[in-house]
Amino acid sequence: MTIPFPVPRITEGFIDKIVESMGGRRLTDQEKNYENDKNADYLLQDTVAELKLLEEEGLEKTERQKTIAEELSEKYILPKTFDIDIKRMSDNAKADYRQLIGIPIKKAVRKAAKQIKATKAHLGKHLDSGLLIAVNNGFNSLAHDEFDNLVLSYCKQSTSQIDFLLCTTIEYHQGDYDSYVFCCSNGYEIRNGTHNPFKEDYIKIVGKEFDERMTYMIKNQVELMAANTDLLNPVQDIIFEKKGVRFIRKFPNIPDSRFTDSST
């Protein structure tokens, strides 16, 4: 019997608190031009910042599964069962797969750049920096480092509006009895020769705030499970069959500590 935990999801309200702790704030209605334009979310020092929450598992989309199967089958001789863990692919297959799986991330980065640009123009802040805060809530097939690398690559390729990047991924692994939850955050400069001034504070504050929420979760499990709001789903194996190949993204099994010999 699986015993789930009510693991908190990273929400806009969570990031609002993080940004406020870093000395920033949300834009006012006037600064957002009363929603007449696409706009960014925050002002942080002299930087315009936009938040993007990635909530869905891109590998579960039927059309994307079809595209991945067709593209990889045409270029490579695939075994009957193909492991779609990026770290286990050949270098060439990695590059092709990243382009296919990264489509929703690319769209999010481009939209963020447009919102930052519009806010800069409305506020007359043409010389100010742009910051993207990217949160991976549900793209579980991408480990935190792969998620970060994809977002960073699209920021470098697609826009001149984003100068700095902050990323957070929550990885929730659920076994029959034990659970593992990791909150992984990092910061990046988009252009060489610059320094991300928000990185250290962001990593520290996100870690502290998430730890506090996890402590609250442990003390109030029954109440949170009953409410069932803003909770994160555990990672699950993804399996689909296309073009005569069984594609599998398998996650590590979580051992049951009740039956583990602690003396070994």
The answer to whether position 262 is within a domain reads: no
CA angle at 55 for the pair 105 and 184, rounded to the nearest 5°: 80
* DSSP E strands, the chain: 25-26, 42-44, 47-54, 81-83, 129-136, 164-174, 179-189, 238-242, 245-249
The answer to whether position 263 is within a domain reads: no
| Contact by Cβ (8 Å): 54, 138 | yes
The answer to whether position 86 is within a domain reads: yes
The answer to whether position 7 is within a domain reads: no
The answer to whether position 249 is within a domain reads: yes
Reduced to 3 states (helix: H, G, I; strand: E, B; else coil), residue 170 is strand
pLDDT over 90 at 194, yes or no: no
What pLDDT, on the 0 to 100 scale, is given for residue 199? Answer: 97
* Whole-angstrom distance, CA of residue 187 vs CA of residue 165: 6
The answer to whether position 5 is within a domain reads: no
What pLDDT, on the 0 to 100 scale, is given for residue 127? Answer: 67
The answer to whether position 251 is within a domain reads: yes
Provide mean pLDDT across the span 25-34: 86
- In the numeric block, the tokens 């045409």 are attached to 74
Q: How many domains does the chain contain in total?
A: 1
pLDDT over 90 at 88, yes or no: no
Cα radius of gyration rounded to whole Å, the chain: 20
What pLDDT, on the 0 to 100 scale, is given for residue 67? Answer: 92
At position 158, the amino acid (one-letter code) is S
pTM: 0.88
Reduced to 3 states (helix: H, G, I; strand: E, B; else coil), residue 262 is coil
CA proximity to 76, closest of 95, 57, 59? 95
* Whole-angstrom distance, CA of residue 187 vs CA of residue 200: 8
Domain that holds residue 18: 12-256
Q: What is the pLDDT of residues 144-174, one digit of tens each?
A: 999 999 999 999 987 789 999 999 998 876 6
CA angle at 183 for the pair 182 and 185, rounded to the nearest 5°: 135
The answer to whether position 3 is within a domain reads: no
